[in-house]
Structure 1
Amino acid sequence: MASSLNIVIDKASPVPLYHQVAQGIEAAIRAGALPGGSRLDSELDLATRLNLSRPTLHKAIEELVQSGLVVRKRGVGAQVIATHAAPARGILSHFDDMHRLGNDPTSEVLSFSHLEADSETRESLNLPVNARVYHFMRLRKVGGRPQALMENWVRDDIVNLDEVSLESRGLYQILRSWGVDIRVVNQRIGATVANDYQANVLQADAGSALVTMERTAIDESGRRLEIGRHAYVADSYAFKMTLVHGQ
């Protein structure tokens, strides 16, 4: 597959080798050379053809999985996801959820900055050196009651953000108004106990339970749009999910 897709690896480039491979496969997917349902060659075969190590290919495929372009299937390997698999209107934020349930959520911006992304944020969003992001912290209330403390990093080449808009509208609502097509959201849900700062802002007891969520939103081209790290008061919000067994 590597030769037929013209994946070119430049070992002198500062771009990591795994990212070069992922970019080459991503370009083929977007161009239609690898339509939905296509199987990728095994990591071992790709590594041999490209004269790279198998761990490098494993990391490249994992990047495509995290971008929502490829899925790993037992007995099949890596397979391209159909581009229509996740329509943007089906991806809702906490703000969207609250409106859908008939509530009237409000947001208070606790901090806001537009700054050069640090190395961790650049890696998470696949940004180049010197790229800038919006970084902000919001307190979400429903019925006047604090419900969530939300920290976000958003790339600045897709939207213009300010404190006023973030207090009057949800982040995903703003992104959609700028024509951003959110196709995939990778989320990791966990739990923690409130530290002194979180307890004070959320009007909860220090050490009380919080539901946590780490999130990365991705557009139709596999571009990573934003990172979210949220903490929810445990007795005020629940996550509902439906799991479907793949064919």
Structure 2
Amino acid sequence: MTRELPVDIDRSSTVPLYQQLATQLTAAIHNGTLRPGDPIEKEIDLAHRLDLSRPTVRQAICEMVTRGLLIRRRGIGTTVAHQVTHRRGELTSLYDDLLQAGHEPRTELLTLDTDSTYPPAAEALHLPPHTGLVKIERLRYMNDKPLAILCNWLPPAFAEVTATEIDHGSLYAWLRSHGQRPCVAQQTIGARAATAHERRHLRLEDPHIPVLTMARTGFDATGTPLEYGEHRYRADRYTFGQTVHES
């Protein structure tokens, strides 16, 4: 059942009205007044109750959807998103990010293939197209809920890796323990519809929820590529942030 939250709009303030609304709804989420899955009042109802225009209310809701705090679903309406992991534009592992955010990460190994051919990964690793690579596919959980499918390819020099070595913890930590230190990465962020494989493992009941994608190549200090990854995240539980500067 949708609740009417107390919202105080100060029309004498220089803060835009949509921002005042978004700020107070965000505070309600952070302090637990609004919980994951709770429905949000319809735009027309909020506009009428607060004496705001519908475009103003829509702008506030859209901003919170963009930030991953709310989810819009056809036929259901707008609801509070479940726990969302925000990742900074720094070279860190998802496992470490989850730990630092106070979550409990867990890993399930889906695939370990020490002779996998995948030309895009070979190209990223500066190897011939049909080189046999080490393919590691893992399902990362956050507080026992599936968050991401992480698929990585390593050069053949790592073919002796075993399942017990990489079925928990961070891949980057494992690389460092073997004398390889990723120092910089090139990555591309995107979004698309989930495949059947992704919907099954990420438990995406709503076919309209997309996956956030990341393709990343990690390099050591000499510029040698150490790993190539293609990762898919639940877009309702994961956001990626980046700080940009004037050139």
Which residue of 2 is the match for residue 215 of structure 1? 216
- 1:195–1:207: 8 Å Cα contact kept in structure 2? no
Q: Give the secondary-structure state (helix, strand or coil) at the position aligned to 2:174.
A: helix
Q: Deviation of residue 203 (structure 1)? A: 0.5
Which residue of 2 is the match for residue 185 of structure 1? 185
Distance 2:139 2:233 in 1: 10
Which residue of 2 is the match for residue 233 of structure 1? 234
Q: Give the secondary-structure state (helix, strand or coil) at the position aligned to 2:96.
A: helix
Distance 1:91 1:151 in 2: 17
Which residue of 2 is the match for residue 167 of structure 1? 167
Q: 1:185 to 1:159 in 2, by over 3 A?
A: farther
Which residue of 2 is the match for residue 77 of structure 1? none
Larger radius of gyration: 2
Query: What is the TM-score with the length of structure 1 in the denominator?
Result: 0.58
Q: 1:234 to 1:116 in 2, by over 3 A?
A: closer
Q: What does 1:11-90 align with in structure 2 at a 5 Å threshold? A: none
Distance 1:232 1:159 in 2: 27
Q: Deviation of residue 118 (structure 1)? A: 4.5
Distance 2:241 2:119 in 1: 34
Q: Which runs of 5+ in 2 are unaligned?
A: 1-89
Q: Give the secondary-structure state (helix, strand or coil) at the position aligned to 2:157.
A: coil
RMSD: 2.0
- 1:191–1:210: 8 Å Cα contact kept in structure 2? yes
Distance 2:226 2:243 in 1: 24
| Letter of the structure 2 residue corresponding to residue 139 of structure 1 | L
| Letter of the structure 1 residue corresponding to residue 179 of structure 2 | G
Which residue of 2 is the match for residue 125 of structure 1? 125
Q: 1:130 to 1:238 in 2, by over 3 A?
A: closer
Q: Give the secondary-structure state (helix, strand or coil) at the position aligned to 1:121.
A: helix
- 1:109–1:139: 8 Å Cα contact kept in structure 2? yes
Q: Deviation of residue 107 (structure 1)? A: 0.7
Which residue of 1 is the match for residue 91 of structure 2? 91
| Letter of the structure 2 residue corresponding to residue 198 of structure 1 | E
Which residue of 1 is the match for residue 194 of structure 2? 194
Distance 1:160 1:244 in 2: 43
Q: 1:98 to 1:217 in 2, by over 3 A?
A: same
Q: Deviation of residue 160 (structure 1)? A: 4.5
- 1:106–1:167: 8 Å Cα contact kept in structure 2? no
Distance 1:119 1:191 in 2: 22
Q: Which runs of 5+ in 1 are unaligned?
A: 1-89
Which sits farther off after the overlay, 226-235 or 163-172? 163-172
Query: What is the TM-score with the length of structure 2 in the denominator?
Result: 0.58
Which sits farther off after the overlay, 170-179 or 159-168? 159-168
- 1:185–1:215: 8 Å Cα contact kept in structure 2? yes
- 1:159–1:178: 8 Å Cα contact kept in structure 2? no
**Matched positions, count:** 157
Distance 1:147 1:175 in 2: 22
- 2:172–2:181: 8 Å Cα contact kept in structure 1? no
Which residue of 2 is the match for residue 151 of structure 1? 151
Distance 1:120 1:189 in 2: 16
Which residue of 2 is the match for residue 57 of structure 1? none
Which residue of 2 is the match for residue 74 of structure 1? none
